[in-house]
Amino acid sequence: MTRNDVSGTIGRGADRTSVVPRRALRDGVYDAILEKLLDGSTPPGSSLSIDSLARELGVSPTPVREALVQLEHTGLVSRVALKGYRVAQPLSPRQMAELIDTRTVLEVAAVERAAAHADDLVPELRAAHAQHVLSAHQVRKFRGEGGHPTGFADLREYFAADWEFHLTIIRAADNRFLLQLAESLSAHVHRLRQTVDHGAMDVDQAVSEHAAILAAFESGDPQRPVEAMRAHMTALARRSAVDV
């Protein structure tokens, strides 16, 4: 091996190892901007300056620009020619209804398939539900006198636990394309959370409806989980229509 071969190999190895920190930085910037979009500190229509965000987060403009490109795909931000990025308007009532309708089609299909694996699914679903119950308790604990959580940070774990309950079922359907569709929808679910008034969060209702879904899987009747998930989605659509 020549010296050039050696240096070329070292260089390629260094490039590979540098990918991970860069990806971690980009993901961290993405999460930080996402939190700003969802906690109400950047209202709809606000401009998002790449340079200002970079200074605020203590990073170069590059990961900020990459994060905003990702966020554009979620619909949370929009890019206006010659004006840069802006915070998108919340979901309209029609968009909200369409999103929940899409989730209903996908998640009912997933439940139908997951019911065949109920014995393996139930222990994992119990664990996911327990985490959801715990995070819901934390949200209630930190609510102020007016019924509002102290901030998005208090809600982040709750949102993650709520979505993980649904993903546990979708993964049990054992269909990679259903899972990919669900993961692509998760970004749009952020917009639903942005739209719904956090002060009117459906914590108690969601926990109760998840408990009913778990009990339906535990029953061994393959039709009961389908009915429970459909009821949950119908209730979610009704609450979302009220909050818009």
The predicted-structure confidence for 115-163, as pLDDT tens digits, reads as follows 999 999 999 999 999 999 999 888 887 765 444 544 566 677 888 899 9
Average pLDDT across the chain, whole number: 83
Closest residue by Cα to residue 87 from 201, 191, 192:
191
Of 54 and 18, the structure prediction assigns the larger pLDDT to 54
Sheet arrangement for strand 47-48: 47-48, 84-87, 77-80
Which 8-state DSSP code applies to residue 23? H
State yes or no: pLDDT of 29 exceeds 50.
Answer: yes
φ and ψ of 131, to 5 deg: -65, -40
Domain 3-87 - what CATH class? mainly alpha
CATH superfamily for domain 93-243:
GntR ligand-binding domain-like (1.20.120.530)
Query: Confidence class of residue 194 from pLDDT cuts 50, 70 and 90?
Result: low
Q: Map out the domains of the chain as residue ranges.
A: 3-87, 93-243
pTM of the model: 0.76
CA distance 63 to 138: 32
